[in-house]
Structure 1
Amino acid sequence: MPSAGLVYIIDDDSAVRVSLGDLLESMDYQVALYGSASEFLKVELSDAPACLVLDVRLPGTSGLELQEYLMKVNVGIPIILMTAFGDIPMSVRGMKLGAVDFLTKPIRDQDLLDAVASAIRKDKSRRDEAAHLVELREKFALLTVRERQVMTLVASGLMNKQVANELSISEATVKMHRGSVMRKLGARTVAMLARMAEALDLQG
């Protein structure tokens, strides 16, 4: 049976790391524990849905510095910050940088489980969206040049007649290309086609 997801925990206090890890393992998560940001940066991240539970204060590279670095190198793993009471202003800064939650120590079991479940869900949808976009780009690459032109204009809100005028072709030809585009991309409605064009960043 697959695990509920992978949780990376970075905290320089080994007792905290182990205790949080044990709790998450008891709920069927895979867990990887690290004492510092540099330890974590040496590992290759798994391709499974995951999240990072990160202490704000760490020796060497701080939690926020690690968070900023991961953003810069485009690692989209959801981050939950752990903070002592006095670090709350730092954690608010972390939330502005995109952390999904922050938990104040000592952390209640249920708060951790709720935050992790939410972060793993977020990572799953991020991965699904990325996979759908790759698939959409592959389908779009199979369209002819004319089909791409028709798609871009239809998605920008033009009627068949306007598209025909724009491309100097007949309305019947526009309808034929439009039908072909929708079939190839699996778009059931023009609204869906418009959303696909937006995802592909087509400019009308």
Structure 2
Amino acid sequence: MTAKVLQNGYFWPTLFQDVRNFIVKCDRYQRTRNMSHRNEMSQRPILEIELFNVWGIDFMGPFPQSTGHIYILLVVDYVSKWVEAISYAKNDVITVNKFLKRNIFTRFGTLKALINDEISHFINHIIAKLLVTEIKKILEKVVNASRKDWAEHLDSALWAYCTLYKTPIGISSYALVFGKACHLPLELEYKALWVCKKLNFNHNATRRARLIQLNEL
């Protein structure tokens, strides 16, 4: 409209100031200004499912041989992001059936859907992101230089991931699944604050005893 006013030769002394004031008060412009395709949220369909109804499954590997194993079979619950994984020597159907029966069906019940890529490893984006950015990084921190002991540290890596706070769900997978926070025996041994409150310990006496222990080191 402003361009048409200028093109028709009309005189409007406060044109630019009026346009600026209009834009500042425009609700639609304020919501969308400075937005590019990079800043726009990707539009994805919302999948309404319950806990442990839908899992993603895939193999990871091959890796350097560790205790005779070169693959990791991993499944992820789509809601809680709970992870189950075991290392194997083969990536065949028998391995998958054995894993599902022992680790999924007998513990979490019958599934409504089990999603995989059917062709190559990790086209399934949820599992790919999980492995590349989370579990793989955890394993890299604990394995030795040869990286042949990764199978021995797999359970610890899974435990670390499941007890880690996850921003998308606002809670750790452990707390979402079991309904309580995860506490380690180490916290009980060193008298963490939650232990003092839970067991009605004397905070002051515990603090003094802890300071004495630190001074003795």
TM-score range, shorter chain: under 0.3
State which structure, 1 or 2, has the greater radius of gyration over its C-alpha atoms.
Answer: 2
The TM-score, its normalising length taken from structure 1, stands at 0.27
The TM-score, its normalising length taken from structure 2, stands at 0.26
